[in-house]
Amino acid sequence: MQVTNVESIALEAKGTLTFSARLKAATGDGPGLCVGLDPLLERLPEKLRQSSEPLLSFNLEIIEATSEYASAYKPNLAFYELFGAAGWRQLEETIRAVPEGKVVIADGKRGDIGSTAKAYAAALFDGLGSDAATVNPYLGSDALDPFLQRQDKGAFILALTSNPGGSDLQQLISEGEPIYSHVIRLARGLNRLGNVGLVVGATRPEIWPEILPQAEDLPLLIPGVGAQGGGVAALKEALKSYPAPALVNASRSIIYASSGDDFKRAARDAARRLLDQLRS
């Protein structure tokens, strides 16, 4: 929930939207599509692998192909950090190339003690220029607070992830409730500036009827659709009465829809099909 206070008024006076307002504007009515920019060098089209900046070259093509349908882009930092300083530079240029009005989520799943988290937040928000970050709640609230100090920036807290091993900890019972329920309660308590969201995987549809009432009005980032096996039909049914913005992320099923010379058209078609399925 967006909070009206001195800071939000000051942001509006400067022409800067709060994160909550930007997210709502980007998604509009219904779920929004988030395209994961996770370039693997060996999966790029041959002609782009020869480029001096192959990750950037690929991302620019994907962004141009999908921007009509995408509400957000989510680069996973690992695919860029793999190449050291050169990879980080390509990530910076990728983020600069995202059109105005789209939300950029830096997917690093950061989570460390307060002073380190403060440096991470500055790196992702001020250094990279991302609008939001994914964060890990395992170290508790003081590791999350540095990401939540600005109304124009947001954080998506891992609650129920899409990977098979997520249940090792997230579904353990503590004080009569699964761990993910405790995480959701923590997230709601931290949402003082209306800039907290949750990561909830599409691969656990049987848990969605329990999670959504707990989340109430927190924005959702939903990975796991497509290559990870999350189904669109169950997701649509669960979200049709959810009151907050939801970003459905797809990475491999869109950016690697083809590895041939037609990769750009294939990515565009895959993005359009998925958005149509989500909103039809």
Chain segment 28-73, per-residue pLDDT in tens: 988 999 999 999 999 999 989 999 999 999 999 999 999 999 999 9
Token pair for 103: 């939300």
Strands 173-174 and 177-178: antiparallel
Q: What is the pLDDT of residue 226?
A: 64
Query: How many whole angstroms separate alpha carbon 23 and alpha carbon 108?
Result: 19
Does residue 7 register a pLDDT over 70? no
Within 10 A of 103 (CB to CB), how many other CB atoms are there? 26
- The domain spans of the chain are 6-279
109 assigned to active site: yes
**In what helix (H) or strand (E) does residue 93 lie, and over which residues does it extend?**
helix 84-97
Q: Which of 74, 102, 109, 153 is catalytic?
A: 109
171 contacts: CB under 8 Å, gap ≥ 6: 178, 179, 180, 207
118 contacts: CB under 8 Å, gap ≥ 6: 146
Beta bridge pairs of residue 103 = 72
Token pair for 178: 């699964």
Confidence of residue 225 (pLDDT cuts 50, 70, 90): confident
- At 170 the three-state DSSP class reads helix
Query: How many whole angstroms separate alpha carbon 20 and alpha carbon 152?
Result: 8
Architecture (CATH level 2) of domain 6-279: Alpha-Beta Barrel (3.20)
Chain segment 97-145, per-residue pLDDT in tens: 999 999 999 999 999 998 999 999 999 999 999 999 999 999 999 999 9
